Structure 1
Amino acid sequence: MDYFSQSIKQAIRTVPDWPKPGVTFRDITTVLQNKTAFRKLIDAFVHRYHDQHIDAIAAVDARGFIIGSALAYELNASLVLIRKKGKLPFDTLVEDYELEYGTASVELHKDALKPGDKVVLVDDLIATGGTMLAASRLIRRIGAEIVEVAAMIDLPDLGGSDKLRAEGLTVYTVCSFEGE
């Protein structure tokens, strides 16, 4: 793990037994509150993509918006919002995905991307991968190309990054908490 990744990982607050017993929550607000850690985080993504042609950053509701907006600005790319169902005011595409107990949906404006657009899909973390898989399907339905799925944190024990790779997606995360 490089210096950037290690310093960002150290800035993430770990909250045991939240929101319920047995769950270890990775709180990114401490990274956002630390101006040096937040800059390192955005710089890690910018350095990864700065020499590529990226048309859009597709950011997942809601914490993905934080990373996505800064990254889109730095890369001179458009910012595309993938929202929870019912939050976008125009014609949308909707994709359902499975939760532990039930289903949820995400949506994307039909005109947010064009076929052939090069897109980086961004969220704060990858856990079970359901939201990112649904978001990737929306992007692909439009005909845009997902250059990479990116997040600050990977929780590999939950299998999400493996599911994304199984769908043919390249995955990049700044840090991971495996077996922790």
Structure 2
Amino acid sequence: MSPLVQLAQEEVQNPLIPPIPELVIGLLAFAIVFGFLAKKLLPNINKVLDERREAIEGGIEKAEAAQIEAQSVLEQYKAQLAEARHEAARLRQEAQEQGAAIIAEMKAEGQRQRDEIIAAGHVQIEADRKAASSALRQDVGQLATDLAGKLVGESLEDVARQSRTIDRFLDELEEKAEAAR
């Protein structure tokens, strides 16, 4: 038998199971490394994780508080905006009412001034008509007297009689003119 065959026959051990001394040394080394890591690194890792968890939870709480505050500010702004719109509508309505009142007042004032001007015009026209009528009566009377004096051949200087005759003549003319209308 060859030495290889003999070695193979002597060792019938499973190749997946390591030899016992190596296994013990590996387990001891693992326990030492694990103990070191558990004593030194694990508290630091837990501390960092706790700080991070607290920061995240604090950040979430701050974000929720900020969101609640933002919501309340938004509601306040909406209320102020609604109030401002209501106030603007009220002011617009008041301005329209005041504008309508001013327009009505200006129309009434214009109507009053127009009526005053018309009344003053009527008074002026009536005064001018009377003055023209009076001046016309005097001129017609004077002309009639002069004409009558030339026709009769003597002067008609009696003013009272002359005035009565002229007035009676003009009154008859006015009555005839009114009857013709």
TM category (shorter chain) comes to: under 0.3
Indicate the structure with greater helix content.
2
Computing the radius of gyration over CA atoms, which structure comes out larger, 1 or 2? 2
TM-score w.r.t. the length of structure 2 is 0.17
TM-score w.r.t. the length of structure 1 is 0.17
Indicate the structure with greater strand content.
1
